[in-house]
Amino acid sequence: MTAPPPLRYRRILLKLSGEALMADGRYGIHPPTLERIAVEIGEVVKAGVQIAVVIGGGNIFRGVSASLAGMDRANADYMGMLATVINAMALQDALEKHSVFTRVQSAIKMEQIAEPYIRRRAVRHLEKGRVVIFAAGTGNPFFTTDTAASLRAMEIGAEVIFKATKVDGVYDADPKTNKTARRYRTLTYMDVLRQNLHVMDSTAISLCMDNKLPIVVFDLTAHGNIWRAVTGSGDLGTLVGASETSWA
């Protein structure tokens, strides 16, 4: 029997967008997609990887869009944070149906449904094999969940951020509209900032650059890609944080 590939990473932060839970829908949560993500996370946890998750809320409410429509930006962002709590609770339920122990920690206090965010407690949960789902972003308006992911990853000592998307990496153009678009295999942080590549927002990229925290951008819609990412098997996605840029 062939031995499973060794793990490249032992503690990761998985950044999920709210849109990742929609599948092809226009809004809300698609239960089969949520189920598939939960199964894949569970497989990785059972292999011994410590996983924290930061999840967005764009499938329910997007603060930036609401502010552009005339709503007060701070108020809109707080509403977006509450949407991330809904998604976190949905992911928690899906994981625990597969016997994966979880804790939701919220940056906004709501003791009836989530623990308050406490760094040491989060690390202890990870050490005990629990998946920690960070909800409500940073707890502050004007900061994205990308920035929350970078911040939490550094606080818990994650080795890498996995940025799960709907495309298989970062391209020099939109691969859906440009057939000649080329995928980057590796990118430097400065390449992302100079070229305004839509990996994460500039604050998140700058935090990762200052702390030398790598980012792996990969396609979440392909079954088994979370496992491939933690083992480093196959030509998967784009690594941001390399010393030089290369093409796939």
The reported pLDDT for the residue numbered 180 is 92
Rounded Cα distance, 238 and 217, in Å: 5
With a cut of 80, say whether residue 206 has pLDDT above it: yes
pLDDT in tens, 92-111: 999 999 999 999 999 999 99
DSSP lists the bridge partners of residue 104 as: 133
pLDDT in tens, 60-87: 987 777 777 789 999 999 999 999 999 9
Q: Which structural domains are found in the chain, ordered by start?
A: 11-247 (3.40.1160.10)
pLDDT in tens, 126-171: 999 999 999 999 999 999 999 999 999 999 999 999 999 988 999 9
Q: What is the pTM of this model?
A: 0.94
